[in-house]
């Protein structure tokens, strides 16, 4: 037999046998995928931001369908899509979804270039995660923002940028989907996901410094000094002070703003103009000693 024909015949036979084997294996080990996964994935925003805690929108869709089979998807939430997206998914799956409270990323650092002027000049890789491991930062605060933009690079929605004047990140409320990517990217955990608040009224402590007041203010004039004035002023006990640092509980806070003007360093910020503190009544003048004796 011609060697060429023989070779072609043998190769064709091997290919035919391999095709049969692959066909049998594919049939035997075929995994039937629930068609609802594709439908749910289509309803998701497709950002693949990971804010839900799952590997991409498809991974989240698979989790939703699995939870739907158990009859409850209320514990699941898509930060990028919000309550509207989850309501659409719930409607498709025939399940009720409780409306989730909208949230937004909040920068908890007030160490602007004016309040926390640099003491030295850094010359090295422009990565917050690297600088954080090397030293405290140009202004000397070991808890403050480093301003090199790891959070900016992590945001897929162009919702955060570094203000050149202040040196601090700024969150665009119209673009932020509170996916949490910037939170994970910040090595100093100064970005927090907090509720948007009723009528967008938010109050927060714009500081993460846990040093004593005197030490903290040497590096930053806007540092929280743990003086307790805000906690004493709060009418609903929403403020606690631990390790010389105040924190406002979003579950308790009513956004009255009374804590803002009493803060001596301006560490507490609000999205609205807080009310001015009421002047304390002056003590009544003491009666003349002779009149009193009479």
Domains 35-93 and 103-270 share a fold: no
Task: Give the confidence band of 79 by pLDDT, cuts at 50, 70, 90.
Answer: confident
**Contact between 186 and 154 (Cβ < 8 Å):** no
Q: Which whole number is the average pLDDT over 71-76?
A: 87
Q: Would you say residue 291 has pLDDT above 60?
A: no
- The predicted-structure confidence for 234-278, as pLDDT tens digits, reads as follows 999 999 999 999 999 999 999 999 999 999 999 999 999 998 877
**Contact between 265 and 223 (Cβ < 8 Å):** yes
How is the chain split into domains, by residue range?
35-93, 103-270
Name residues whose C-beta falls within 8 Å of residue 192's C-beta, 6 or more positions apart in sequence.
105, 106, 108, 183, 204
Q: How far is CA 294 from CA 1, 279, 290, in A?
A: 143, 34, 6
Q: Would you say residue 56 has pLDDT above 90?
A: no
d(CA 131, CA 146): 8
Tell me what percent of the residues of the chain surpass a pLDDT of 90: 66
Tokens of 106: 């909040």
Give the number of other Cβ atoms within 10 Å of residue 144's Cβ. Answer: 29
d(CA 195, CA 53): 18
Q: How far is CA 86 from CA 52, 173, 180, in A?
A: 12, 21, 18
More confident residue, 166 or 100: 166
Answer yes or no: CATH 3.20.20.100 is held by domain 103-270.
no
Looking at residue 116, its pLDDT comes to 97
Number of H helices, E strands in the chain: 11, 8
Name residues whose C-beta falls within 8 Å of residue 142's C-beta, 6 or more positions apart in sequence.
136, 209, 211
pTM to 2 decimals?
0.76
Q: Would you say residue 294 has pLDDT above 50?
A: no
Answer yes or no: CATH 2.40.230 is held by domain 35-93.
no
Among 26-30, 159-163, 217-221, 233-237, where is mean pLDDT lowest? 26-30
Q: Would you say residue 289 has pLDDT above 50?
A: no
Q: Would you say residue 119 has pLDDT above 70?
A: yes
- The predicted-structure confidence for 36-55, as pLDDT tens digits, reads as follows 999 999 999 888 888 888 88
Tokens of 33: 């995928």
Q: In whole numbers, what is the pLDDT of the chain averaged over residues?
A: 90
Beta-strand ranges (E) seen in 23-146 are 103-107
- The predicted-structure confidence for 121-168, as pLDDT tens digits, reads as follows 999 999 999 999 999 999 999 999 999 999 999 998 999 999 999 999
d(CA 54, CA 56): 6
């Amino acid at each position: 037999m011609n060697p060429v024909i023989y070779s072609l015949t043998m190769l064709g036979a091997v290919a035919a046998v391999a095709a049969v084997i692959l066909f049998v294996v594919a049939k035997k080990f075929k995994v039937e995928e629930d068609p609802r996964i594709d439908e749910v994935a289509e309803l998701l925003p497709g950002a693949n931001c990971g804010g839900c805690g799952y590997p991409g929108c498809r991974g989240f869709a698979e989790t939703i369908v699995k939870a739907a089979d158990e009859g409850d998807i209320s514990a699941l939430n898509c930060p990028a899509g919000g309550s509207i997206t989850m309501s659409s998914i719930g409607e498709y799956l025939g399940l009720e979804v409780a409306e989730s409270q909208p949230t937004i990323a909040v920068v908890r650092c007030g160490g602007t270039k004016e309040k926390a002027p640099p003491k030295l000049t850094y010359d090295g890789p422009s990565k917050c995660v690297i600088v954080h491991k090397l030293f405290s930062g140009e202004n000397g605060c070991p808890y403050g923002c480093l301003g090199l933009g790891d959070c900016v690079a992590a945001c897929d929605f162009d919702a955060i940028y570094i203000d050149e004047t202040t040196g601090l990140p700024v969150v665009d409320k119209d673009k932020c989907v509170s996916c949490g990517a910037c939170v994970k990217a910040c090595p100093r955990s100064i970005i927090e996901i907090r509720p948007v608040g009723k009528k967008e009224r938010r109050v927060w402590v714009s500081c993460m410094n846990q040093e004593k007041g005197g030490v903290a203010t040497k590096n930053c004039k806007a540092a929280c000094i743990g003086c307790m004035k805000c906690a004493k002023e709060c009418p609903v006990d929403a403020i606690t002070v631990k390790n010389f640092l105040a924190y406002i509980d979003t579950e308790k806070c009513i956004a009255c703003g009374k804590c803002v003007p009493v803060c001596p360093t301006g560490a507490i910020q609000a999205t609205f103009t807080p009310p001015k503190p009421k002047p304390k009544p002056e003590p009544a003048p003491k009666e003349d000693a002779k009149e009193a004796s009479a």
